Amino acid sequence: MGTAAETVRLGAGRRAAVVGALMLAAFTFNTVENLPVGLLKLISADLGVSVAAAGLLVTGYGLTVAVVSLPLAHVTRAVPRRYLLSALLGLLVVASWLPSLGVVSYGSLLGARVSTAVAQAVFWAVMGPVAVGLFPPDRRGRVIGLLSVGGSLATVLGVPAGTWLGGHDGWRTPFLVLGALGLVSLLLIAVLLPTSRPEQGYAAYGETPDARRFAAVIATTALSVTGVFAGFTYVAVFLEEVSGFAEGSVSTLLLVFGAAGIAGVSATGPLLDRFPRATLSVPVALQAVALLGLYAGAGSKVVVIVMLMLLGAVVGPVFMASQSQVLRVAPGRTEVALAANSAAFNVGVAAGSLLGGALLPVVDVRGTFLVGGLLTVGALAVFTCSPTPGLLTKPVPGCGDAAEGERST
């Protein structure tokens, strides 16, 4: 983005339109990433591959994001954001429309998925600094909150709607629609976003650079996400076999989980600027409570529903607040730092799923939530014992020389 003075002079309507386009793009990317989960059987039958092979369309996507986020953010750091975002969204559109262009093989579909994952990896790294750079610094958290709402809507609206549409009109149709949404975002960005060098804006660098604090945030992201997915990957089995819910009610419970997520992100976003530390530590603590509560109260349907809603309400805010923290303490360029946080998130998803699967024969599905809760407690300890930038106070008990307290903004 341009300098702070240049971006603030942009009309309010133009700035709002760019943020709206980025929200729409976040929604589209997240929906494209997870939509095959609801269409695995249709894709498998149409392309003549196993369900497991179709599942690689999701697994390969996440692994690609984890691997390429950091190096590509570094490689593209000098490209003007208007051109870079336009190219990324163009790749999203083409890859989404590929399945609708006639006969498509499993290999070409997998290639399209990998291409989209590459675009998404860079998009998530640059989206935040671009949007934040359009507004005064004291609105940083609120802007990040809006972008997170766009991404969260994919779980509650995008994937269910795409699954329904795919079941009625074939699995290619929802990807055609998503490509059209990507095209809308592309046109808005290409027309409305100013062209300037990405390192010129205040959002290109951390507000209070701190390498130790940055490392602690990355570790908190990785540990907390690993903790969630160690158990949540197998939540359907947990709900049916341990808590005794009917198979037909699981989808409803997951919808409630997603709705709670949107509520949590919406409520936390406006608080990020006022309470930058607490808006990460409190959701991480509540995530630990929810996971341990699911383990301890697995036999009570009421407890499980309450804990599942609590988990849904805090998972989104944890990542959103970690992104906001990274924008504050990044020791170098923020897009590279955000890419590292995104990579940590995706590594956590894969590691948590693999860990939970490895533990199933040992602790059963209920025990995976105990392990996940303990990992989240570890994430909370890492973050709590890390220094608060710009604040020198007495050490936190049990944390050595780490500082305590909320940073005043």
Instruction: List the chain domain ranges.
Output: 4-203, 205-384
Q: Which residues of 238-251 are buried (b: 16+ CB within 10 A; e: fewer)?
A: bbeebbebeeeebe
Min mean pLDDT across 14-28, 98-112, 193-207, 244-258 is at: 193-207
Question: In whole angstroms, what is the distance from residue 141 CA to residue 130 CA?
Answer: 13
Q: How many CA atoms lie less than 13 Å away from 1 in the CB half-sphere? A: 32
- Any residues with CB less than 8 A from the CB of 261 and at least 6 apart, and which? 152, 155, 156, 312, 313, 315, 316
> Quick one: pLDDT at residue 212?
93
pLDDT greater than 90 at residue 406: no
Backbone φ and ψ of 31, nearest 5°: -70, -45
Question: In whole angstroms, what is the distance from residue 370 CA to residue 379 CA?
Answer: 14
DSSP bridge partners of 395: 403
- CB count within 10 Å of CB 406 equals 14
pLDDT interval class at 233 (50, 70, 90): confident
Name the strand (E) or helix (H) holding 180: helix 172-192
Q: Which residues of 344-383 are buried (b: 16+ CB within 10 A; e: fewer)?
A: bbbbbbbbbbebbeebeeeeebbbbbbbbbbbbbbbbebb
Please say whether the beta carbons of 127 and 148 come within 8 A: no
- Any residues with CB less than 8 A from the CB of 394 and at least 6 apart, and which? 404
pLDDT in tens, 37-51: 778 888 888 888 887
**Exposed, middle or buried, 103 (CB in 10 Å: 0-12/13-18/19+)?**
exposed
Averaged confidence pLDDT in the chain? 86
**Residue bearing the bigger pLDDT, 339 or 388:** 339
> Quick one: pLDDT at residue 236?
81
> Quick one: pLDDT at residue 42?
86
pLDDT in tens, 156-173: 888 888 888 988 888 999
pLDDT in tens, 332-359: 888 888 889 988 988 888 888 889 888 9
pLDDT interval class at 176 (50, 70, 90): very high
Average pLDDT over residues 276-289: 95
CATH 1.20.1250.20 for domain 4-203, yes or no, is yes
Average pLDDT over residues 215-234: 92
In single-letter form, the type of residue at position 233 comes to T
Mean pLDDT comparison of 83-87, 100-104, 202-206, highest-scoring range: 83-87
pTM beyond 0.85: the answer is: no
> Quick one: pLDDT at residue 313?
94
Angular region, 390: left φ>0, alpha ψ -120 to 50, beta rest: left
Please say whether the beta carbons of 316 and 302 come within 8 A: no
Q: Hey, which CATH number is domain 205-384, 3.40.640.10, 2.40.50.1070, 1.20.1250.20, 1.10.10.10?
A: 1.20.1250.20
Same fold, 4-203 and 205-384: yes
In angstroms, the first-to-last Cα distance of the chain is 23
* Distances in whole angstroms, Cα of residue 305 to Cα of each of 30, 254, 293: 25, 10, 10
Q: Is 333 strand, coil or helix?
A: strand
pLDDT interval class at 389 (50, 70, 90): low
* Distances in whole angstroms, Cα of residue 380 to Cα of each of 196, 199, 386, 394: 39, 33, 10, 19
Task: State the residue for tokens 């998972």.
Answer: 315
pLDDT greater than 70 at residue 4: no
